[in-house]
Amino acid sequence: MAYETIEVRPMAGALGAEIAGVDLTNLGNQAFSEIHQALLDHQVLYFGDAPLDDDQLEAFTLRFGPFGDTPFVACMPDHPNIIEVRKDADESGINFGGRWHSDFSFQETPPSLTLLNARTVPEAGGDTLYADMYSAYDALSDGMKTMLEGRRAVHSARRSYGTGGRFTANPNLTRMTVHPSKEGDAELSHPIVRTHPETGRKALYVNAVYTVRLEGMTDAESAPILDYLYAHSTRPEFTCRVRWGEHGLAIWDNRCTQHYAVNDYHGQARLMHRTTCAGTKPV
């Protein structure tokens, strides 16, 4: 489409665009409509200069829809819909979000969108990678598409937040406040190929963090198929990369992307404020 109130600069061939020429604290209806359309067109948007305070971040999030639920990870006491995604300069543990995934796909209605606003960024490193699940699906062979059509995969938070998950086994992995529990062991299934409710396009919907097996199959039987899909869906030609600035803001569509926070900034601090928008049941 032709954009009249914003500048849209594609980041890569598959997905992602930088947005300029707009003040997110004073956003008219036409500008917001164009941002929404750009998100549907490019799946990931990055605003290089978005110095929002927490109230402004929440208000902008709500333009897209109601907040999503945030289980297992503590939100800010005075802003119960914002997570502080942080790693301090003296931490040597994990980088939160440091594997390819789609946010909270273990939920019955996973979040549609995630917004991440930079507060403190390393001098170098700490980028976020994104992968286009539309392109990943489109590039599958006809035979693979036929095999996957109508099949479902089982998702669970157990590896991260369940009773045997990594945060239970090692509470000191991060200084972020995480509350693993037996609720994290729950399982549910989603279509392996989901249809985006706004664009009508098909996208792969499995990820190595929360997908545990194919429905009706064992973990071992599922592994060769899932491992192939994980590797296929994150091929370089399906990806883009956000290099964070001090006031950067990214928005991404969990219904058709995966993302990966790169853990390459040891000895430096990184602090981001994160919100999500409620989604719908994948179909």
Catalytic residue IDs: 101, 103, 259, 274
Cα torsion 33, 37, 39, 42: sign: negative
| Dihedral angle of Cα 76, 80, 85, 89, to the nearest 10 degrees | 0
- The number of beta carbons lying within 10 Å of the beta carbon of residue 183 is 14
* Residue 46: its H or E element: strand 44-47
Cα torsion 203, 3, 244, 173: sign: negative
Tokens of 89: 């300069």
Cα torsion 71, 181, 281, 225: sign: positive
Which distant-in-sequence residues (6+ apart) come within 8 Å of 228 by Cβ? none
Beta pairing partners, 193: 204
Tally the C-alpha atoms within 13 A of residue 160's C-alpha that lie toward its C-beta. 24
* C-alpha–C-alpha distance, residues 264 and 262, integer Å: 6
